[in-house]
Each structure stands twice: as C-alpha cells, then as structure tokens.
Amino acid sequence: MTSKNNSNKVVDVVLIGAGIMSATLGVLLKELAPELSIEIFERLDVAAAESSDAWNNAGTGHSAFCELNYTPQLPDGSVETHKAVAIAESFEVSKQFWSFLVAQNIVGSPETFIKSIPHMSFVWGDDNVAFLKERYTKLQQCELFKEMTYSEDPKQLEEWMPLVMADRDPAAKVAATRMLLGTDVNFGALTREMLNTLQTKPDVSMEFNQEVRKLKQKDGIWEVKVRNQDTGDKRTVKAKFVFIGAGGGSLPLLEKSDIPEGKGFGGFPVSGQWLKCVNPEVIEKHNAKVYGKAAVGSPPMSVPHLDTRMIDGKKALLFGPYAGFSTRFLKNGSLLDLPLSIKVNNIRPMIAAGLDNIPLTKYLIDQVRQSPEDRMTALREYLPAAEMKDWELETAGQRVQVIKKDEKLGGVLEFGTEVVAAADGSIAALLGASPGASTAVSIMVTLMERCFPEQMKSAEWTNKLKLMIPSYGQQLNNNPTLAQQIRNETTKALHLQVTELV
C-alpha cells in the first residue's frame, strides 16, 4: 500500500524502520486499537534487512539459558542472576505473543521462524568450571531455570555435543550446562510475516526506499520529513506519535528530534563477522547453541558461540562473532555516521566512556588485525578437529552500543537496550543491542506504558493484552504453576519439540 501525500492529513502512528521492533509495536497497537492509522518507513528496499536479519543477529532466542555475560561473577565469587531471570521472563512474554500471532493467523506456521534447539554453556579450566557450577547452583533456585542440567562428565558432554568434545584433551577439566527449552529464532522471517499481515489492515501503509531526514514537533504534532531514495522526492508526513526503531540509525534520528530526553546520548559502533561452515557433514553433527565465556574487555555481543541455526529452512552452523570496528551505525550506513553523531551535548559522555573502556578499544583493534589462522585458533578452542577448508568468513550485522551521560563518571558505555521517550509520550526511540529482538515484546509493552499511559491502564487495553500475553501483569519466576502452564501452552502452540516437559 502507498499513502497519498496529503499535507493536512495527520496519521496516528509513524514507525521508522521495518525491523522486529517496529513490527512488534505496530501489531500490538493495531490489535489494541484497530482504528489507528499507521505509516511505516524503511530506508532499504526490503524489511528486516539490518539487525533483524538472520545473518545479522545471534538468533539465539536470548533467554539467558546459555549466555554467561547475563550472570556476572561478583568479586566475592558469587554469581548475580537478576538480569538472567529478567531476560528469561521477557522471552517467555515473547513466546506468548508469538503464540497469539499463530493462533490469529497473523503469522503462518511457527516452523518458519522458531525451532527447538538445546542451549548450552561450555567452559574449561578450574576457575571457569567453578564459575559455571556456581552459576548452575544459583539458577536452580530460579523457577525459569529448573530444567537446566549440569555435567562435568566428558562422556555425558560427548553425547550432548560430539563435535565439541571430539579430539579434545581427555585430561582437560570441562563442564557444561544444557537447557532443552532453548530455541533458535529467525527474526527476519518473523518480522516480514508480521509486517505482511499488518499491511493488509485498514489504514496501514509501508513504504520502502524512504529515508527520514528530519523530525520536528509543531503544536503537538510531529512533522516527519521523508525523502524517496529512488526519485529524490521529498514530503512531510504529520503524526501524533513517532517510534524510531531504526536499529543503529536510531541515534541520529533521536538527535534530530531535539527532545530534551535525547540529550547526552552517544553511540559506539561494533561490527561483527562469523565463520560459516560449508561442509554439510560437519553441520549435521552439531545440534546445539554452545556458548562460552567472552574474553576480558570484549563486548557482550562477542561472546563466542558455536551455533546451530535454521535460516530459510536450511540448517547452518556458525562460529563467532568476531568483533570489529566501523564508524558506520548500520551495515548499509555511512562512514560518517559516528563523527556526525557527535554533538555538543554528548561529546563529554563519549570521551569519558572512551577513556573508561580502553581495554575494549584494544580488544577491537586486536580483532580487526586477526588473520584467518587466528580465527581458526579461536574456533578450535570449541571445535578441536576444525579444518580451515570447511569454513568461510561471513559479514555479520552492525551494533551501536549506548553511551549515556553519568553524573559521577561523565559517561558510561551500556550493553543493552534503552528506551528514550519524550515527556509528553509523543515520540520514543530504541537504542542499543543485545538482547534486543528476543525481548522485543516486553520492550514495546514498556514503551507503550510510557507513551500511552492512560490507554494501558484502561480495562479495554488490559483485557486485550491478557489475551495476547496471558501472564501480563504477573511474574512467572515467582509462580511455578503459572510458569509451567505457560511454557506447556507456548511449546504446543509454537510446535516446539521439547520432550522433557512436565
């Protein structure tokens, strides 16, 4: 559908970026208020081609089952689990919403975007094994992690992940945890299905090759200046509410909005690459997502993992990601993205964060300088029998980590997602990266609570949300009966093949 240029027309909602965040928010709002008019603008020629694309994100279905950076070890040796529990809760919310989408035929067969795949954490060495055992012990106290199993037995680990254990030193101290409830999610496929259905709804349009150039609020209405990248034509779209869900491109647009809440934010871009297996025999021998520990000073997105993926119906095996640095904020962005994002209001936080993260800078420089042999050495820590002929380098997506002002430190580098909203709730932007897509539903619900507070408190919206997310308003980790009920229901609805559910 293509919207007509009517200078007097005011649409209810403009979504900038056709990724998982805009798709999720668009579907939620249209289900809650079918009368809303929505326009979606995407600068590329297809949906979900940046951070939401299957090759450009981890696709783990981030549930904190295997990502060790979500359970940091404290100075006293104990393990912090709060973030892991929060992420696991959020992923359960996502699964409930996706189950609703399937039931309502908003998306087709769940097999097109989600599959069961065990999530595993794997470590070696006395200190790391002690950490993993402590992590397992702490997580066993959390309802959402009760199904996790732990082993230091090499024979058991060989059954779980034969490729990882093949040719490994039998005397090495190793340990792993496993969650059969893990999933692999193709967020690109999910996003495109959601948007395809959303476009069929009344008063919804989505246009490609449209770049948003300026944002200005006038008399409570946002004027969104859009340029057609094919023809060069420019026009202004008026909107009551604007969501900036443009991945790495969100920061420059937030700056252009000139809202006070957006002052002081900066961005630190981190690029990535995968080693992709090209040998079908090797691919078939591995069936898990195996995560290890990140190197000291490395960003969380660089946690090494040997990852079974289902991409467009075909099984794939990736290792990485290998981090790098580019001044682009998007994979298809400009080399000027970073320098142009530096403003008077954020230069101090960015300098302070840079000085505070010199080990990260050194890590990224070392990563950029890696040779093919260096990358194979890293792979062989997880796959001792790996041969170079079986792997090729694949460019991954671009992430922009959030830099925010801090009264004491001047500026801090945040690894996560940040919702920035105007005081009047008329505009909001999503900054940051992991766990991102996996927790999109919770993030967008939180955004709506900030931007549509009265509607979210109404009985009409609350009741509709409970149809989409049955656990809405409740904590699963503190409610074993509800948690098991929800997991059983979503497992069935999403056609997941988990054999050890109660």
Q: One-letter amino acid identity for 385? A: A
The token pair at 38 is 């929505």
Give the CA radius of gyration of the chain. Answer: 23
Tens-level pLDDT at each residue, the chain (502 residues): 344 445 578 999 999 999 999 999 999 999 999 999 999 999 989 887 776 676 666 556 679 999 998 998 999 989 999 999 999 999 999 999 999 999 999 999 999 999 999 999 999 999 999 999 999 999 999 999 999 999 999 999 999 999 999 999 989 999 999 999 999 999 999 999 999 999 999 999 999 999 999 999 999 999 999 999 999 999 999 999 999 987 778 888 998 999 999 887 777 777 778 899 999 999 999 999 999 987 665 555 567 889 999 887 889 999 987 776 677 756 667 766 666 677 767 676 666 656 566 566 666 666 666 788 888 998 999 999 999 999 998 877 666 766 767 667 666 666 668 889 999 999 999 987 666 789 999 999 999 999 999 999 999 999 999 999 999 999 999 999 999 999 999 999 999 987 543 3
SS3 string, 432-462, reads: ECCCHHHHHHHHHHHHHHHHCHHHHHCHHHH
Q: At residue 391, what are phi and psi to the nearest 5 degrees?
A: -135, 145
CA dihedral 90, 323, 374, 174 (to 10 degrees): -20
The runs of H, that is alpha helices, within 342-479 are: 347-356, 358-368, 372-382, 440-451, 453-457, 459-468
- Write b or e for each residue in 278-306: b if 16 or more Cβ atoms lie within 10 A of its Cβ, otherwise e: eeeebbeebebbbbbbbbeebbbbbbbbb
Beta bridge partners of 16: 41, 244
Is the separation of the CB atoms in 11 and 223 below 8 Å?
no
Closest CA to 194 of 25, 438, 428, 42: 25
The token pair at 152 is 């230091």
Is the separation of the CB atoms in 360 and 295 below 8 Å?
no
Is the separation of the CB atoms in 151 and 175 below 8 Å?
yes
Q: Which residue has the tokens 């200046």?
A: 225
d(CA 498, CA 152) in angstroms, rounded, equals 23
Name the pairing type of β-strands 234-244 and 427-432.
parallel
Burial class (CB in 10 A: 0-12, 13-18, 19+), 148: buried
Chain centre distance of CA 75: 28
d(CA 438, CA 478) in angstroms, rounded, equals 21
d(CA 422, CA 267) in angstroms, rounded, equals 19
In the chain, the largest separation of any two C-alpha atoms, in whole Å, equals 74
d(CA 334, CA 444) in angstroms, rounded, equals 28
Q: 3-state class of 16 per DSSP?
A: strand
DSSP characters over 52-120: TSGGGS--S---SSS-GGGSPBPTTS-B--HHHHHHHHHHHHHHHHHHHHHHTTSS--GGGTEEE--EE
d(CA 307, CA 320) in angstroms, rounded, equals 8
